[in-house]
Amino acid sequence: MDATFVTVVSGLPRSGTSLMMQMLQAGGVPPLTDELRTPDESNPRGYFEYEAVKQVRTDSSWLATARGRAVKIIHILLSELPNDGSINFRVILMERAIGEVLASQRQMLARQGKSAAALSDDQLGRIYLGQLEKAEKFLTGSPAFQVLKVAHRELLGDPAPVAERINQFLGGDLDLAAMVAVVDPALYREREI
Amino acid sequence: MSVAIAQKLLLIGWDAADWQMIHPLVDAGRMPNLARLLETGVMGNLLTLQPILSPILWTSIATGKRGYQHGVTGFVEPTPDGTALRPTASSTRRCKALWNILSEAGKRCHAVGWYASHPAELINGCYISQQFPVAPASATPLHWPPQPNSVQPVALAEALTELRLHPGEVTGPMLSQFIPLAAHLDQRDPEVRRLFNSFAKRLAECISLHAVTTAVMEEMPWDFCTAYYEAIDHVGHDFMAFHPPRMPNVRPDLFEVFAGVMNATYELHDQMLGRLVELAGSDAHIMLVSDHGFLNGERRPTTEVDPAQWHRNFGIFLLAGPGIKSDDVVHGATLLDIAPTILTLFGLPVGQDMEGKVLVNVFAQMPKIERIASWEETLKVAEDKEPADHIEDDPEAAAAALQQLVELGYLEAPGEDIQRDIAKARSEQKFNLACTYLDGKQPARALALGEELVRQSPGELRYLVLAGQAAISAGDVTALGRALSNLEASYPQNRHVLLFRAFHHWLSEDIAGAARYFEEALVGSPQDPWLLCRIGRAYLRLRRWRDAEEAFLKAIEIDPDNAETYYGLSVALPRQGRLEEGVECGLKAVSLFHDFPLAHFQLGAVLSRLGWYERSLQAFEICLAMRPDFALAHRYVSRISNHIGQTEAAKEHRKRADSIIEQGLPQLAVD
């Protein structure tokens, strides 16, 4: 794996970021994770998270150790990444129908016994999409970031070509078969018809 | 694309610069570089927007849009993860600024130090954010790493970093050029120390930005460059209190030492201006603007007030260069006119979503103005006249969305102190947003936000007043009644109680009752020109022409730049048979505030009484351009057109007037 850049997997929570992390791991990109968050019903194969990401605004020293690895960063924290070119990033931005994202978040919160925001789907959806728009604007505003968008539905429906695109995006050294093998359509819940 | 008049344009921003401070210095030969530009260019007042807060205003200058359109609504905002506050970021702006538009059009652009400009954006040139020259508390002259994301291209950061001046490097001799009697003060006095440290900081930041600006201008070719200086405002907030004449609340010892600081600051800016103009070259256009003025005479506050209350409604405008009139004055310019005018100078179309106008009167030859729907890719063309409902502007909704991400485990929950600070910042943003709606003639939206703020914080005076003001603008008697009750319950002695009562009577068509309350309010604030105008307007409605004239004249004595006073006189004087004087006042009103349809209407009416029909029609034309559904104006135009034999036009306007009346469209109330 090329160790000159950091691979970032991002998107709205429940847009397929954990799945992508699994694919990358299977394909040969070591994840940066502390495994603090263990697998559960919402993510039976694990979250692949790194707690230090949440403090990236005040402490980004861990980024230096992320070169050559994949790290999951929620969309809203992307703008805290340095865009001055000191580190280069290749960002895989997961996209999923907003209705599916919201439904999946609700399910996850319900499983955890927590409450969802007191907002309508329309309101929450628009806020999330606005956040995503800002994040994308930030990413396209600097040559430090290369971005590949991956549609969740397409990934679940036909993972092979998607895996190939990811492989090309990340330099071409990945184990495609292993990546494709990770995708299990049975995990595609809250699917919109 | 039209032919470009400008090949190169330097847009200089002097935050809070005020002609009232500049003119005496120019006359005394102490600002020679500005004097030369005045001789060769066009100057005028530049009307600000409400609320008078610099991040909002400078973003409006750069985008041609109001706060509720561009999205910058305050000095600080929560970070995206909701765990802290930060200065409002460039990424919060949701529309293109001049440097984005001109870059897209292939122009080489440098944007240096503009307000709300961090992090640095990628443009066709060099971008240096506002944070670049700011030394954090931890920085020392020897160890001051560049702020991340403050320079694009990144390769320039190291070289530009060398040009910065740390406040600790500002020496006594440097300070003494601005404060020659500094040694007269006891530096152990905490207030003295604070003032010296503050001035050193502002001076260092100013010099740093100037050094960086001149470096990029000199080293990298450009077609458009911004150079923004905020020192006049920051220094003003500390030192304008000491500007002569001494105010009764000011310590004599501090006055003696600091009396010359403001003038010295302006002189420094003139020196820097000279270098900028030299670097720009003789074929460049130079535009100098400020976002607002600064109180500097008898109307300066004498007690502790919100800093924005030191701001004056009129900033400065100056434009010089090829194809621009020379030694001339432009009237009626506003902040929103800057972007359209610059785009026209470059031969580029103006977005229809830019509310401002091209300042055509600055051009030696009338420019060709082209329009497009918008420079934004995704904006719907405004058949829908309502501004987009940006849910992300709703602080509570945004907070709720973030909380969901915390609940999902993707973000950290902020500590309680931070949560309070963030809640306060969000309320501030909402308040400012409401003010931008009110200023942008969207009172219903302002009212909705105002009433939300009152529900959240029932005892907050500003919110109570805002809700009332919005209700008045909206003509909503019921909402005004609510606002009045809420205000009386919490602040029964507050002057706005009388004012809201006055307006309640006014909106209920009891003008005499309104006048009584305004007069009662005047007892507590005899020097309030706004209140004098309210009284004057009431007297106009009551046909007490002489009393109205007196009220407006008193207001002019206090505030000679108040357009409403001249409008009022343009009504009162003709009613007393003084038609020519009425015309003079009408012209003065529209020169101070162009976007004043009633003033243009009144001017047209008086001109027609004098038999100056062509000029009268011009005035009505301007009025109707602003208010196309003003039936009475159409009737006047019809009558005058008939009188001068333009029968087709007469018929058209008559028909239009009839149609408007039939449709029952809302009309301006004529005094």
| pLDDT tens by residue, A79-105 | 989 887 889 999 999 999 999 999 999
Q: Which residues contact B178 (CB under 8 A, 6 or more apart)?
A: B199, B203, B260, B261, B264, B265, B268
Give the number of C-alpha atoms closer than 13 A to the C-alpha of residue B177, restricted to the C-beta side: 10
Average pLDDT over residues A59-66: 90
Q: Sort out which chain B residues have CB atoms less than 8 A from A119's CB and list them.
A: 397, 400-401
Contact B91 A37 (CB under 8 A): no
The pLDDT averaged over each successive group of 10 residues in chain B (671 residues) is 90 98 98 97 96 96 97 91 88 93 95 94 93 89 88 90 94 92 90 94 96 97 97 96 94 94 98 98 97 94 89 96 95 95 97 94 93 76 44 74 85 83 90 96 95 93 96 96 96 95 96 96 92 96 97 94 95 96 96 91 96 95 91 95 94 94 86 86
Distances (CA, A) of A190 to A25, A114, B48: 25, 18, 51
Query: What is the value of ipTM here, to two decimals?
Result: 0.85
Please check the confidence at residue A151 and state whether its pLDDT lies above 70: yes
Q: Note whether B9 and B321 are within 8 A (CB).
A: yes
Q: Sort out which chain B residues have CB atoms less than 8 A from A84's CB and list them.
A: 148-149, 151, 154, 157
Chain A residue with the nearest C-alpha to that of B92: A134
Structure token digits, residue B347? 């031969």
Q: Sort out which chain B residues have CB atoms less than 8 A from A13's CB and list them.
A: 405, 408, 410
Closest CA of chain A from B94, distance in Å: 8
Contact B392 A130 (CB under 8 A): yes
Contact B412 A55 (CB under 8 A): yes
Q: Which residues contact A187 (CB under 8 A, 6 or more apart)?
A: A19, A44
The helix/strand/coil state of B85 is strand
Q: Note whether B224 and B185 are within 8 A (CB).
A: no
Q: Name the phi and psi angles at B283, rounded to 5.
A: -95, 0
Closest CA of chain A from B205, distance in Å: 22
Suggest the residue from B122, B152, B392 to mutate for an interface test with chain A (most A CBs closer than 10 A): B392
- Radius of gyration of chain B measured on its C-alpha atoms: 26
Of B364, B365, B382, the residue nearest B373 (C-alpha):
B382
Q: Sort out which chain B residues have CB atoms less than 8 A from A86's CB and list them.
A: 148, 154
Q: Sort out which chain B residues have CB atoms less than 8 A from A117's CB and list them.
A: 400-401, 403-404
CA distance B297 to B245: 7
* pLDDT value, residue B50: 95
**By 3-state DSSP, what share of chain A in percent is helix, strand and coil, each rounded to 5?**
45, 15, 40
- Would you say the pTM of this structure is higher than 0.90? no
Q: Three-state SS across B129-191?
A: CCCCCCCCCCCCCCCCCCCCCCEECHHHHHHHHCCCCCHHHCCHHHHHCCCCCHHHCCCCCHH
Parallel/antiparallel/unpaired status of strands B314-320 and B285-289: antiparallel
Nearest to A141 among B122, B148, B408 (CB): B122
* pLDDT value, residue B391: 67
Chain A residue with the nearest C-alpha to that of B405: A13
Q: Sort out which chain A residues have CB atoms less than 8 A from B397's CB and list them.
A: 119, 123, 127
CA distance B476 to A14: 46
CA distance B124 to B122: 7
Specify the DSSP class assigned to residue B48.
-
Work out how many CB contacts closer than 8 A connect A with B. Answer: 97
Contact A54 B81 (CB under 8 A): yes
CA distance B579 to B573: 7
Q: Note whether A14 and A105 are within 8 A (CB).
A: yes
Q: Sort out which chain B residues have CB atoms less than 8 A from A85's CB and list them.
A: 154-155
Neighbour-count burial of B162, counting CB atoms closer than 10 A to its CB (0-12 exposed, 13-18 middle, 19+ buried): exposed
Closest CA of chain B from A41, distance in Å: 13
Contact A77 B154 (CB under 8 A): no
Neighbour tally for B248: CB within 10 Å: 5
CA distance B115 to B75: 9
Is B91 touching A (CB cutoff 8 A)? yes
Suggest the residue from A15, A81, A119, A137 to mutate for an interface test with chain B (most B CBs closer than 10 A): A119
DSSP of A14-65, one letter per residue?
A: TSSHHHHHHHHHHHT--B-----S---SSSTT-----GGGGGTTT--GGGGG
Is B81 touching A (CB cutoff 8 A)? yes
Residue A149 forms beta bridges with which residues?
A: A93
Neighbour-count burial of B95, counting CB atoms closer than 10 A to its CB (0-12 exposed, 13-18 middle, 19+ buried): buried
Suggest the residue from B152, B405, B422 to mutate for an interface test with chain A (most A CBs closer than 10 A): B405
Contact B401 A86 (CB under 8 A): no
Contact B403 A79 (CB under 8 A): no
